[in-house]
Copies of this chain bind each other. A is one copy, B any other.
Amino acid sequence: MHTPDTLHRRGLMFILSSPSGTGKTTISRLLLDADDELCLSVSVTTRPMRPGEVDGKDYIFVDQPTFDHMVEEEHFLEWAHVFGHSYGTPKAQVKAGLREGQDFLFDIDWQGTQQLYQKLETDVVRVFLLPPSIDELRRRLTGRGTDSAEVITARMERARAEISHWDGYDYVVVNDDIDECFAKVKEVLHAERMKRARQTGLIGFVRGLMKD
């Protein structure tokens, strides 16, 4: 009989969305550092490689015709065109990982979330982070000090547009304090792993319990 420690479970797709400036990137990094069962799926992109980035690790870098061909051939779970470049999540990698109990973190917007949800609804856990207030959001977006007023206004507009999709998520966490927010998001991840439907090893385990 299997012991509980070896019970197999199906992986999940943990989606973290938020308007820019709400700490999504920080929370994602903290989660990935703290959790061995969680990883990023490596996205395919058409945007140019930046200094320090590694092809196949940070992204899979392709040209636009290659990307378009992958879209046509339905190689992506989701894809999007953002700020002039295309980004996509390759299907095969994630599907194989899920079967083996690997969890994937997705730091994507509401459109990507909808695409993933339509394709793999039961594997998807959707978490939305909200800023504690619009003033705090503006402060965070301005605080970087690297962008013009125009860019900040555009970003605020984009943030509002993103916020307007909050009701397409399973969980909502207000990020007032980064440690608290991280703890809460971790609780959601841990709880979702305990969902009966993901614990595929339970069937055999229960069969063992029913024997004399």
Contact = CB atoms under 8 A, between A and B. Distances in A.
A210 B132 contact: no
A5, A173, A176, A187 — which one has the most chain B CB atoms within 10 A of its CB?
A187
Each complex incorporates copies of this chain amounting to 2
A194 B188 contact: yes
Given A163-B206, A163-B210, A209-B134, A172 B196 contact: yes
B130 A163 contact: no
A211 B75 CA distance: 40
A184 B194 contact: yes
B190 A187 contact: yes
Given A163-B210, A166-B202, A171 B195 contact: yes
A209 B137 CA distance: 9
B184 A171 contact: no
